[in-house]
């Protein structure tokens, strides 16, 4: 397998549970330094795929390379090169933020400086706070702190902002963007389509155990070529027109109104619209997907 430019490379990945395929021939490449969002409904094969990449689950077939190594036979040196932030974590409630980070730093051969990590995740003012007293967003920041402590080349983020309020989500996005700017490769799973659109260089949609689309968020499923809907107000009534040439149509409206067009709007299908269309087409093709895994 040629993995020269890929942090993650999959060819024909397969995993079956009780005779039913959960992952059914997945091919995928994720480049070094890329933020990649893997999207899919429950039971689509998303979690199984990621767990195989992390070395937590054995595959039934196919080739897998993560940072140039097969996770199924990887050693502790490889494990120190990746960071994992799981969807649900717990424990250490009686320790302070500082104590938790310094404790886990001892597990890595070249851990980041604890003070540097605390600063990076914005927990300086919570350094002496016991974990049980942290808010949900602060606990998630601590999870990320532990995930980046070993200076990972590749970071797995599983539903990182579930349960966050809007402000906490935006702050967390800034943190992830800063990690990406430092060159960390990030594989993100999320049910928030706006999160994927904001953070990801590319998005992959998995449904029925197969990758059904991979592209930049703005181009996924041909979004950029979809018909636009132009809206405007004429004599107090809302009007709309679907057109493949919105600029030309708007120019005509502007000429008709002698300048500014009242209530002008232009919209194309959202990422959510495209995502639902893609997984809907897969469901119609393959039939209902059994829920074999969590999100």
88: confidence class by pLDDT, cuts 50, 70, 90 = low
21: confidence class by pLDDT, cuts 50, 70, 90 = very high
CA geometry: angle 20, 22, 23, nearest 5 deg: 125
pLDDT at 109 exceeding the cut of 50: yes
Phi, psi torsion values for 240, nearest 5 degrees: -140, 150
Q: Are 7 and 183 in contact (CB under 8 A)?
A: no
pLDDT at 47 exceeding the cut of 80: yes
**pTM of whole model > 0.85?**
no
| 122 secondary structure, DSSP code | T
pLDDT at 208 exceeding the cut of 80: yes
Tracing tokens 């700017």 back to the chain, one arrives at: 181
Phi, psi torsion values for 286, nearest 5 degrees: -100, -15
Which of helix, strand or coil describes residue 209? coil
The average confidence (pLDDT) of the chain is: 88
Predicted pLDDT of residue 224: 73
Q: What digits encode the pLDDT tens for the residues 154-207?
A: 999 988 887 777 887 888 888 888 889 989 999 999 888 999 999 999 999 999
- Token code pair at residue 209: 């155990």
pLDDT at 268 exceeding the cut of 90: no
Q: Return the exposure string of 228-238: e unless at least 16 CB atoms fall within 10 Å of the residue's CB, then b.
A: bebebeeeeee
89: confidence class by pLDDT, cuts 50, 70, 90 = low
Q: Return the exposure string of 242-259: e unless at least 16 CB atoms fall within 10 Å of the residue's CB, then b.
A: eeeebeebbeebeeeeee
Query: How large is the average pLDDT for residues 262-267?
Result: 92
2: confidence class by pLDDT, cuts 50, 70, 90 = very low
Predicted pLDDT of residue 283: 54
pLDDT at 285 exceeding the cut of 80: no
Greatest distance between any 2 Cα atoms in the chain: 71
Query: How large is the average pLDDT for residues 65-81?
Result: 93
pLDDT at 138 exceeding the cut of 70: yes
Show the beta-strand stretches assigned E in 82-173: 82-85, 154-158
> Which parts of 166-235 fold into alpha helices (H)?
166-181, 193-199
pLDDT at 23 exceeding the cut of 60: yes
Name the percent of the chain lying above pLDDT 70. Answer: 92
**Which of residues 294 and 38 earns the better pLDDT score?**
38
Q: Of the candidates 102, 133, 134, which has an alpha carbon nearest to the alpha carbon of residue 118?
A: 102
pLDDT at 288 exceeding the cut of 60: no
Predicted pLDDT of residue 290: 36
- Rounded Cα–Cα distance for residues 163 and 246 (Å): 38
Q: Of the candidates 48, 44, 39, which has an alpha carbon nearest to the alpha carbon of residue 15?
A: 48
Q: What digits encode the pLDDT tens for the residues 126-137?
A: 999 999 999 888
């Amino acid at each position: 397998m040629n993995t020269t430019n890929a942090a993650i490379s999959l060819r024909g990945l397969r995993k079956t549970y009780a005779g039913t395929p959960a992952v059914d021939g997945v091919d995928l490449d994720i480049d070094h330094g890329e933020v990649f969002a893997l999207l899919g409904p429950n039971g689509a094969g998303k979690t199984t795929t990621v767990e195989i990449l992390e070395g937590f689950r054995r595959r039934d077939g196919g080739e897998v390379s993560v940072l140039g190594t097969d996770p199924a036979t990887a050693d502790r040196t490889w494990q120190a090169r990746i960071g994992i932030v799981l969807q649900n974590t717990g424990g250490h409630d009686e320790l302070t933020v500082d104590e938790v980070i310094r404790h886990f730093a001892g597990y890595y051969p070249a851990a980041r400086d604890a003070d540097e990590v605390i600063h990076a995740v914005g927990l300086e003012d919570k350094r002496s706070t016991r974990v049980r007293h942290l808010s949900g967003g602060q606990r998630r920041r601590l999870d990320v702190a532990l995930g980046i402590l070993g200076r990972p080349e590749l970071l797995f983020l599983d539903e990182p902002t579930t349960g966050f309020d809007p402000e906490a989500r935006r702050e967390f996005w800034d943190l992830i963007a800063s990690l990406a700017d430092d060159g960390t490769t990030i594989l993100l799973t999320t049910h928030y389509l706006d999160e994927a659109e904001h953070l990801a260089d590319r998005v992959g949609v998995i449904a029925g155990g197969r990758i059904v689309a991979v592209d930049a968020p703005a181009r996924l499923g041909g979004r950029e070529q979809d018909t636009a809907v132009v809206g405007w107000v004429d004599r107090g009534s809302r009007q709309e027109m679907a057109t493949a040439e919105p600029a030309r149509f708007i120019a005509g409206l502007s000429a008709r109104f002698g300048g500014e067009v009242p209530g002008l709007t232009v919209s194309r299908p959202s990422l959510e619209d495209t995502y639902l269309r893609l997984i809907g087409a897969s469901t119609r093709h393959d039939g209902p997907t059994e829920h074999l895994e969590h999100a």
